[in-house]
Amino acid sequence: MAKYTRASSRGDRYNRRLLFMSAGCGMRDRLLAAEKVKAIDWRDGALYLLDQRILPFEETWIAYTSAAGVAEAIRSMVVRGAPAIGISTAYGVVLAARARFAEGGDWQAALEEDFALLADSRPTAVNLFWALGRMRDRLERLKDHADPMAVLEAEAIAIHESDREANLTMAQLGVDLIRKHQGNAQAILTHCNTGALATGGFGTALGVIRGAFIEGMVERVYANETRPWLQGSRLTAWELSNEGIPVTLNADSAAAHIMKTKGITWVIVGADRITANGDVANKIGTYQLAVNAMHHGVRFMVVAPSSTIDMNLASGDDIPIEERDGRELLEVGGKRVGADVDAFNPVFDVTPADLIDAIITEKGIVERPDTAKMAQLMCRKRLH
Ligand code: MRU
């Protein structure tokens, strides 16, 4: 595992909105031009991950050449965010297959150990298991004459590329939905990090927010700090401020007050797993945002690629919820701040479908989700 570090700058600050408005090109081109940050790079047969544990202070890339390394990167959250976890997993399978193939013998049987290792890294984001399923399926369809390494590498790259494409489609659909309901000058509240750092493109919920900003429809984004791992204050605030998108950071517990006093029109979040009835698992705190949004008449949008939808689970009650070390709550920057007690640290919760106004995917939009509408959605082709 090799590391490459450079001191973090705040990035190029510029008025992206003016830039795009003057460019006179289509929304897709304007969105593509907004892709600045990336967190995953597949280069020269190695997986490079931007270490999200130390952002925004340092931009350090770590090179991985084994499935065990990738599994540990996912577990320790060097890489995080459901789609980014799925993409990294696919590359992890490529690395594993290369090593097993070189060992000779029944390499496909030996690969099962690596599948199990990767599957064990984090439990909630279904994209991880979806990516393993895609890679396994590709493996099973290998023709005798094919070069297995080239085929698996192409599959992982296709997973990465299609997530990027999905981000673009979802941004366009989300912006259209916002436009349908209200005009300009939106104040938006978001939770966790759902941007370029969490995906293969420029984001799910943050992609819609970026798109809406480009279209001149966002006045300010309120970013929940997202305790305890601080995805909001460390990652989302960093991504948005680097692009000149007006962002204000707030404590998670300020969200209801902000909905009441700051003219919030939409809460826009991502997802880690969406079940067949439209229930949504996402970062802990999302459920209480949805309850508060309902109370304040604020619309609630979930943005996620179809790889986040798990039609095998009937409802959110069946989703495994990851619990992480209590020290994430009891310590700040490695220093103990909490009393000498046990801490309960579930890092996801489930928002029931009936609190959700719309789920945006690359296959289309589901408004007021339920089982029938989710089934219809999954029968559709991707829109790109
Ligand atoms: O624990 P994390 O940082 O992996 O959790 C991430 C989230 O909950 C995101 O909201 C979700 O994965 C959507 S990312 C596009």
Q: First vs last Cα of the chain: how many Å apart?
A: 36
Q: What is the pLDDT of residue 35?
A: 76
Which of 51, 163, 194, 274 to probe ligand 1 with, by most ligand atoms within 8 A of CB?
194
Closest CA to 177 of 369, 374, 364: 364
* Distance, CA of 173 to CA of 211 (rounded, Å): 10
Q: What is the pLDDT of residue 381?
A: 76
Yes or no: say if 244 and 14 are a contact pair by the CB < 8 Å rule.
yes
Q: Which one is catalytic: 51, 114, 272, 357?
A: 272
Angle among Cα 119, 192, 188 to the nearest 5 degrees reads: 140
305 to 75, 169, 201: CA distances (angstroms)? 22, 10, 12
Question: Where are the strands (E) in 44-162, listed by range?
Answer: 46-50, 58-64
Q: What does the block give as tokens for 115?
A: 């599948």
- Quickly count: other Cβ atoms within 10 Å of residue 367's Cβ: 12
CA neighbours closer than 13 Å in the CB half-sphere of residue 229: 26
Amino acid identity, residue 55? Answer: L
* Distance, CA of 10 to CA of 239 (rounded, Å): 9
Angle among Cα 220, 222, 226 to the nearest 5 degrees reads: 155
Residues whose CB is less than 8 angstroms from the CB of residue 180 and which lie 6 or more positions away in sequence, other chains included: none
Yes or no: say if 304 and 270 are a contact pair by the CB < 8 Å rule.
yes
* Ligand 1 atom at shortest distance from the alpha carbon of 283: 8
- Quickly count: other Cβ atoms within 10 Å of residue 370's Cβ: 13
**188: which strand partners?**
221, 266
CA 351 to ligand 1 centroid distance, Å: 14
**What is the block-wise mean pLDDT of the chain (384 residues), using blocks of 10 residues?**
49 34 59 85 98 97 98 98 98 98 94 98 98 97 85 98 97 96 82 98 97 95 98 98 97 98 97 98 98 97 98 98 98 95 98 98 98 96 69
Rg (CA), the chain: 20
CA 125 to ligand 1 centroid distance, Å: 8
Q: What is the pLDDT of residue 182?
A: 74
Instruction: Mark whether 342 is an active-site residue.
Output: no
The two most distant CA atoms of the chain are separated, in Å, by 66
Yes or no: say if 197 and 205 are a contact pair by the CB < 8 Å rule.
no
